[in-house]
Amino acid sequence: MNPVTIIGGGLAGLALGGALARNGVPVTLHEAGRYPRHRVCGEFLAGLDEATLDTLGIRPALAGARLHTSTIWIRGGRTLLEAVLPSPARGLSRHRIDRRLAEALTDAGGRLVDGSRIPTSNTPAPGTVLACGRRAGRPGWIGLKVHLRGLRTRSDLELHLSRAGYVGLAGVEDGRSNLCGLFRTERLPSGGRLQALLATLRASGFPELAERVAASDPDPDSFCSVSNLDFTPPAPDATALRIGDALGVIPPFTGNGMTIALQSAATALPHLLDYARGGADWPATLQRANAALSRRFGRRFRVAARLQPLLLSPSGLGALALLARARLLPFHLLYKLTH
C-alpha cells in the first residue's frame, strides 16, 4: 500500500487519519501541538450528517455531546430572532473531541507524531494531505474562547451581535457553557486573560455579556485566542490536497467549520483509499479529490462570506431585525445555503 502523510491534527486531519488507518493504510500524522488542548471554537457542531459519521467511524468521539435545538439572536439587549434549528446541533468541547480522535487514530494503528511542525510552503510530496488549519490572514479579527461554569443561557445557542463582532454561547459537556467570540480588533487589551476578555466584550458592544461572564465561574485553563482571521473564500490550489480550514474558512456564525472539517475528510477518503491501494496515481488523486471538494463546499463558502458583512453592518442588522419582526426572515433557507 502507498503510505499517506497528514500535516495537522485538528478535526479534519485526525478524522481522516483514523479512517485511513482503520482501512489498513499506513498513515502518519504530524501535529505541531500536543493533546489534550483547548482551541478557539464555538464548539457548536451544526449540519453534521449521519453519512459522514459512518464513513469516518467517529461516533464514539462525539458521545455525550449536548443536543441543541433552539437559537436566539440578540443585539443591544433586544431579541432579533428566536428559532428552532432545522436539525439538532451538537455541543462538545474540542478538548474532548480532539483527544478522543487522537486516541482512535493510534488505536487503529496510525502513527501520531505530536510536537512536530512540518513546513508547508513547498509543493507537498505525493501522498501528503494538508490539514493544517487556516492560512494566516491580515490583522483585523481576533477570536476568543472560554468555558464558563454556572451560567444560565436563554436558548441552546445565544448569538450576540454588534457592529464590532459576534459572540456565541452554547452548552458543552459537564454542565459548562462555551463562550466564543469574533471581534473586529487587531490585538487583545493588556492585563490578565479574564480582564482582556471582559475589556474586549465591553469595547465591542457586549457590556451585558461582560457582566454575566464576571458573575460566572470561568475556567482559566480553557481561555484561548487567535488573531489574523481571514474569511475570504478559498482560491483553488491544484498543487495540494487540502481539507478542513486549510481548504477554506467559513465564517463562524454558521457553526459549520467543524462539520466542513469532517465532511471534507470524508470527501477525500475514497480518493485516498484508491491512491493507497494503487488504483490511481497522485496527480489523478489530487485532481479527483479537489474536484469533489470544490463541488461539495464551493457554494457554502461563497454564501457565508457574503452574509457575514450583513450581520455586522448597522444597515444589514436593521434589515434583519425588520424581516425577523415581520416574520419574513428566510432563516431556514439561509441555514440550508450555509450548511
Ligand X SMILES: Cc1cc2nc3c(=O)[nH]c(=O)nc-3n(C[C@H](O)[C@H](O)[C@H](O)COP(=O)(O)OP(=O)(O)OC[C@H]3O[C@@H](n4cnc5c(N)ncnc54)[C@H](O)[C@@H]3O)c2cc1C
Binding-site member from 156, 158, 173, 245 for ligand X (CB under 6 A): 245
In the complex, what is the shortest distance from the CB of residue 155 to ligand X, in angstroms, rounded to a whole number? Answer: 15
Query: How many residues does this entry show for the chain?
Result: 339
Binder among 255, 263, 267, 268 for ligand X (CB under 6 A): 255
Of 17, 127, 143, 165, which one interacts with ligand X (CB under 6 A)? Answer: 143
Toward ligand X, which CB reaches closer, 87 or 284?
A: 87
Single-letter amino acid, residue 207: P
Indicate which single residue of 16, 21, 27, 44 sits in contact with ligand X (rule: CB under 6 A). 44
**Would you count residue 33 as binding ligand X (CB under 6 A)?**
yes
- Which of 9, 18, 37 has the alpha carbon at shortest distance from 243? 9
Choice from 110, 205, 234, 257 touching ligand X (CB under 6 A): 257
Contacts of ligand X in 66-125 (CB under 6 A)? 117-118, 120
Query: What cell was used for 283?
Result: 496527480
By CB under 6 A, tell whether 8 contacts ligand X.
yes
**Binder of ligand X out of 16, 27, 40, 269 (CB under 6 A):** 40
**Interface pick for ligand X out of 80, 81, 132, 266 (rule CB under 6 A):** 132
Q: Output 32 or 292, the one with its CB closest to ligand X.
A: 32
Q: What is the CA radius of gyration of the chain?
A: 20
Question: Cell numbers of 76, please?
Answer: 443591544
Residue 298, amino acid:
G
**4, 6, 11, 148: which one contacts ligand X (CB under 6 A)?**
11
SS3 232: coil
Say whether residue 18 binds ligand X (CB under 6 A): no
Q: Cα dist. 6→100, 103, 289 in Å?
A: 18, 16, 15
Shortest Å distance, C-beta 257 to ligand X: 2
Of 60, 8, 65, the residue nearest 31 (C-alpha)? 8
The interface mask with ligand X, positions 207-226, x = CB under 6 A, is: -------------------x
Distances (CA, A) of 103 to 100, 221, 224: 5, 22, 23
With binding defined as CB under 6 A, does residue 41 bind ligand X? yes
Please tell me what DSSP assigns to residue 218. Answer: E
- Tell me, residue by residue from 163 to 192, as one string, x for binding to ligand X by CB under 6 A and - for no binding: -----x-----------x-x----------
Burial readout 228-261 (b: 16 or more C-beta within 10 A, e: otherwise):
ebebebbeeeeebbbbbbbbbbbbbbbbbbbbbb
DSSP assignments along 265-291, one per residue: HHHHHHHHHHHHTTSS-HHHHHHHHHH
Q: Is the bond preceding residue 36 a cis peptide, omega within 30 degrees?
A: yes
Supply the minimum distance, in Å, between the C-beta of residue 218 and ligand X: 17
Indicate which single residue of 5, 93, 227, 256 sits in contact with ligand X (rule: CB under 6 A).
256
Give 36's DSSP letter. S
Q: Pick the binder of ligand X from 4, 6, 7, 304 (CB under 6 A).
A: 7
Helix (H) or strand (E) holding 309: helix 282-312
Binding site for ligand X (CB under 6 A): 7-13, 30-33, 39-45, 117-118, 120, 131-133, 143, 168, 180, 182, 226, 229, 244-246, 252, 255-259, 261
